[in-house]
Structure 1
């Protein structure tokens, strides 16, 4: 009994440290005018390297022993599932009122070129890079995984950036958000296929169909007057029921061979809007609170991996291709949609935001054995750098636009 209490106290203490570190990371990110999630991710991932740097492997064994890491892994998964339920629910509200043609061009521009640059990087990894970087994943699964990794845009982080900069109702902001919603939806499906290739494609496709069926049927049933009124009258009980159902479905799909991410999306997409939104919001908030624990476990996996040289070439190639695919593709899509150059560049910068969604995708690929630890590290660095670029690049666009307007001489008509 004493051992159980000591272990429980140890877990609670580690959780407290992680949550405090995440809070400090959010404050630091806010001070630097970066999305808060950047601070959360770095704080979570750096916990293990800091412990190793201070006390070495013996200290890490004391702070994070195996019987503590296992519960932490489950807690991190719980937080991730609950958070993604909210993300999936918000993905259903991507309307912009800007016309299907404009949204279509921007979506195609922000997704297809990035997918192509992902294929280019995959070709380099498979045919040129050293075997340690490539790993031992099946080639089709690895290629699709890297392509997905370079094509993702983080809807939650993008929404935060647009809100912080008062760009939610701007043409560039609305088009970028619409494109991100469609892009992420396609990316999650491709991720399921990539994981399925390595674990049994036929079974995964059957489970994909099952998930879609559950989503459609659940949405029809929950739209009824009785469940809608119940959600409106008892939001806390509804939130608890949603959480329990999401965890049950997510871990069941993982047991069947897919990721918990897919199960979380099945539940999130099945929940309609209206009164249900008030019940989903606390579920997402609680999940966001626990997500840093997920990053600590991910950071431990990277820190405990076999030592090797930092994959600088992979980091550089991933960064260049990711930026070209997203900023260049978003700019092209914006121009084809009839937007001016400044708006098109802004769209490209916005869809280059990867953040938490990218980290989740990479962790899913790493857990499934599709990414080696060195390739995982290179893509994590790419995700953090491209997300951190968003704020400074938007500020630069604003300054250039302001200086250009100031340099234009006033016309006689305006002077009169």
Structure 2
């Protein structure tokens, strides 16, 4: 039944799934835009505004009003919103993964890798230690401690490459050695983080079947090798054959190339979701890594997809995350003590690890001020953290309260980065 038919019959116009979904999308993108305009004046990146907009629409604020929640975001409508939000997430993760071109790092790769690994190992270890207390006071007894520990430790050790790139651009640090090393370190961090998440998700989805979890990991490795050795060369040939050079003043992405990339992206996402049993976004990461950069092809693909993805689809993911975040669950002293522990571990682990590596690692001649700037830049979590948290919540490894605690940590670490950088490294 269409909306017009229902209206003529005296029924509510919002009764159709399509009309409700369109209204939800309209509300979400408008609220996200308003929040971005307000927080942009305070020097905050857009991702912070969109995360807060999602929380504002969720049960923490507006969805506490029964009429608003039942009319705009009824529980029965969330699966459809989730599907579209995840399609947007796949596109965005693919776009950001196009930045993972390790060959561009050149001589900075060694020092960037050392900084990245130090910034992963230390917070991972601290997160594993902190997880003992978190599991004891807020963990689900039905979830194994090993799964919980691996998840918390991984969540503590990530860095948001897309947010970092935007902060570096907005502060002018992108042209400095500190900015270039931090960006390269974040790229290495992303590769390691996604690899860790493949292992963690394989274990979460196959509790008590470690052999099968190893099998899943090996399948992902084999699929990545296939994409690199077979699909990447094929794409390079197609770019050389059908792509147009920028020097000719024409776009480098022809319709046949765009069609091919989208087909391969969806196929890669389907393979990791259905065959590997982990998550479709891992397929997007793999496809982003193997997309060739010849003649600016990867950059041109990103330009074609970025506006629609970031303006329409990505806010839907933030809103969907916000609809699951209940800040009100942090109403006890225990919850806030865990929040303080999580913030201290996430911020301290990253800053200490990356600062020490920047100062003392061979081949990284940075001053204490420059090293501290790298540590602060690497401490932001952003969207990557939200993706990991949603995976953990959907897998049942963390509770709603732990989810809310970790979301607050993601917001704080992202909000503090740009103001601190302006002070430490003006």
Q: TM-score, normalised by structure 1?
A: 0.87
Structure 2 residue corresponding to 1:205, chosen from 192, 217, 227 = 217
Structure 2 residue corresponding to 1:161, chosen from 150, 157, 167 = 167
Q: Which runs of 5+ in 2 are unaligned?
A: 6-15, 207-212, 245-251
> Aligned equivalents of 2:113 and 2:17: distance in 1?
53
Q: Which runs of 5+ in 1 are unaligned?
A: 400-416
Structure 2 residue corresponding to 1:110, chosen from 116, 119, 139 = 119
Q: Deviations over 1:59-95 (max 9, x none)?
A: 3122123453222111100100000001111112573
> Aligned equivalents of 1:39 and 1:25: distance in 2?
5
Corresponding residue for residue 210 of structure 2: none
TM superposition shift of 1:304: 11
2:53 matched to 1:51?
Answer: no
Structure 1 residue corresponding to 2:321, chosen from 284, 287, 298 = 298
2:297 matched to 1:285?
Answer: no
2:52 matched to 1:25?
Answer: no
* Cα distance change on mapping 1:85 and 1:237 into 2, 3 Å: same
Q: Deviations over 1:135-156 (max 9, x none)?
A: 6333222211111111111111
Q: Deviations over 1:167-211 (max 9, x none)?
A: 112121111111111111101111111111122313422431243
Structure 2 residue corresponding to 1:376, chosen from 385, 403, 423 = 403
- Residue correspondence of structure 1 range 15-414 to structure 2 within 5 A: 15-49=25-59, 50-53=61-64, 55-56=65-66, 58-93=67-102, 95-126=104-135, 129-130=136-137, 132-134=138-140, 136-200=142-206, 201-216=213-228, 217-224=230-237, 226-232=238-244, 234-256=253-275, 257-275=277-295, 276-277=297-298, 278-289=300-311, 290-303=313-326, 309=332, 311-336=335-360, 337-398=364-425
* Cα distance change on mapping 1:94 and 1:31 into 2, 3 Å: farther
TM superposition shift of 1:237: 4.8
TM superposition shift of 1:244: 4.1
> Aligned equivalents of 1:47 and 1:282: distance in 2?
30
> Aligned equivalents of 1:265 and 1:285: distance in 2?
19
* Deviation larger for 366-375 or 175-184: 366-375
* Cα distance change on mapping 1:368 and 1:15 into 2, 3 Å: same
Contact map agreement 1:110 1:179 (CA 8 A) in 2 = no
